[in-house]
């Protein structure tokens, strides 16, 4: 095994930005990822304030939006993986948000 393989670690976020159209993540290795916000329905339907309220976990390997109950891995973003949440789940979440119910998060 080469020393490069032994030194590899999961990509980590340094900073996160969310616009009306995209999610942008600056990585600690110097890369910048920009993905369509439409890939993540909860972010897409969230307000600007809800999108701004995020936390980085696992030394920057996870992003969590508590107001939207959305969790993304940086490895998934690097791999180009959109949300795998079932459409029925998103629909239920949206209905709960409209009604202000307990399932809104």
Query: pLDDT band at residue 9, thresholds of 50, 70 and 90?
Result: confident
pLDDT score recorded for residue 100: 83
The count of domains in the chain is 1
**Full domain range(s) for residue 21:** 9-100
In a domain, 90, yes or no: yes
Establish if 56 belongs to a structural domain.
yes
Residue 29: which CATH number? 3.30.2020.40
The predicted-structure confidence for 51-91, as pLDDT tens digits, reads as follows: 999 999 999 999 999 999 999 999 999 999 999 999 999 99
- Predicted local distance difference test score (pLDDT) of residue 101: 63
Is residue 16 one of the residues assigned to a domain? Answer: yes
Region for 74 from its dihedrals, namely left if φ exceeds 0, alpha if ψ lies in -120 to 50, beta otherwise: alpha
Domain membership flag for residue 18: yes
54 falls within a domain: yes
In a domain, 1, yes or no: no
Structure confidence by residue, pLDDT tens digits, 15-26 = 999 999 999 999
Q: How high does pLDDT run on average in the chain?
A: 91
32 within domain boundaries: yes
- Tokens at 42, concatenated: 């909860």
Q: What is the pLDDT of residue 29?
A: 95
Residue 61 in any domain: the answer is: yes
**pLDDT tens string 33-57:** 999 999 999 999 999 999 999 999 9
Dihedral angle sign, alpha carbons of residues 72, 73, 79, 85 = negative
Q: Tell me how far apart the alpha carbons of residues 98 and 65 are, in angstroms, rounded to a whole number.
A: 19
């Amino acid at each position: 095994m080469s020393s490069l393989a032994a030194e590899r670690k999961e990509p980590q976020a340094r900073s996160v930005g969310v616009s009306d159209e995209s999610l942008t993540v600056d990585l600690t290795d110097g890369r910048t990822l920009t993905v369509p916000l439409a890939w993540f329905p909860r972010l897409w339907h969230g307000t600007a304030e809800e999108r701004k309220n995020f936390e980085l976990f696992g030394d920057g390997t996870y992003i969590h939006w508590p107001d939207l109950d959305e969790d993304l891995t940086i490895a998934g973003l690097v791999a180009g993986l959109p949300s795998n949440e079932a459409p029925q789940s998103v629909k239920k979440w949206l209905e709960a948000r409209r009604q202000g119910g307990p399932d809104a998060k």
